[in-house]
């Protein structure tokens, strides 16, 4: 038996229903993914997650293409099937084919992106998978490659959102699964 269940929409508060509508519109989807729906009984969690989505993902100044490649590679490294699949679907809409995406996952050093976008993805992946190993030289390297302090902080915020989102998603889906 699953530990969590999906709350029926009519049992949710008006604020939560509004947030779910905001999320549907932000995603351009008819429904909210189960990994979001499950938190409907926790308005503070849902609100924090939605606010982080807006502020750290949607308002990010880097290209959508680079962001989705970064999400795909972070999800691949963190084994988040949901985020991996959603990012790949976005990239396929942008014209990437499956073999190109598979090649990116197999060898992120050969990304078919502009040099700046490639650096963004490289730093995002480094932060997501090795934040405990970051050194002052890493930030000097980012600056030497043309990233301002504000942009470096934006990369950190973007990565922090996606790592948090992957934890929310992976934990929710595990708790929704039957034994």
In a domain, 96, yes or no: yes
Give the position of tokens 């708790």.
175
Count of CB atoms situated within 10 Å of the CB of 113: 18
Select from 41, 59, 77 the last residue of a domain.
59
pLDDT at residue 24, as a whole number: 86
pLDDT at residue 11, as a whole number: 92
Domain that holds residue 32: 9-59
In a domain, 151, yes or no: yes
Is residue 78 located within the same domain as residue 15?
Answer: no
**CB-based contacts of 164, cutoff 8 Å, min separation 6:** 49, 52
Render pLDDT for 19-35 as a digit per residue (tens, 0 to 9).
Answer: 999 888 877 788 888 88
How far, CA to CA in Å, does 94 sit from each of 25, 72, 88, 163? 20, 14, 10, 23
Render pLDDT for 100-134 as a digit per residue (tens, 0 to 9).
Answer: 899 999 988 778 889 999 999 999 999 999 999 99
pLDDT at residue 26, as a whole number: 79
In a domain, 179, yes or no: no
pLDDT at residue 111, as a whole number: 82
For residue 96, the SS3 value is coil
Output the pTM of the full model: 0.91
In a domain, 92, yes or no: yes
pLDDT at residue 179, as a whole number: 77
How far, CA to CA in Å, does 106 sit from each of 29, 60, 92, 98, 163? 30, 26, 17, 12, 20
Is residue 104 located within the same domain as residue 27?
Answer: no
pLDDT at residue 165, as a whole number: 94
Residue 10 clears pLDDT 80, i.e. is over it = yes
In the chain, how many domains are there? 2
């Amino acid at each position: 038996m699953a530990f969590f269940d999906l709350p029926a929409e009519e049992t949710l508060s008006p604020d939560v229903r509004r947030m779910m509508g905001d999320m549907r519109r932000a995603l351009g989807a008819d429904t909210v993914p189960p990994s979001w729906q499950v938190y409907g009984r926790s308005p503070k969690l849902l609100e924090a997650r939605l606010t982080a989505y807006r502020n750290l993902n949607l308002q990010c100044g880097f290209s959508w293409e680079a962001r989705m490649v970064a999400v795909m590679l972070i999800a691949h490294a963190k084994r988040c099937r949901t985020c991996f699949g959603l990012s790949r679907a976005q990239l396929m809409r942008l014209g990437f084919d499956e073999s190109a995406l598979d090649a990116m996952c197999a060898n992120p050093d050969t990304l078919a992106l502009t040099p700046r976008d490639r650096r963004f993805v490289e730093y995002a992946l480094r932060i997501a998978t090795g934040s405990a190993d970051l050194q002052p030289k890493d930030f000097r390297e980012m600056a030497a490659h043309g990233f301002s302090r504000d942009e470096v902080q934006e990369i950190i915020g973007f990565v922090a959102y996606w790592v948090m989102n992957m934890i929310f998603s992976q934990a929710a889906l595990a708790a929704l699964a039957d034994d």
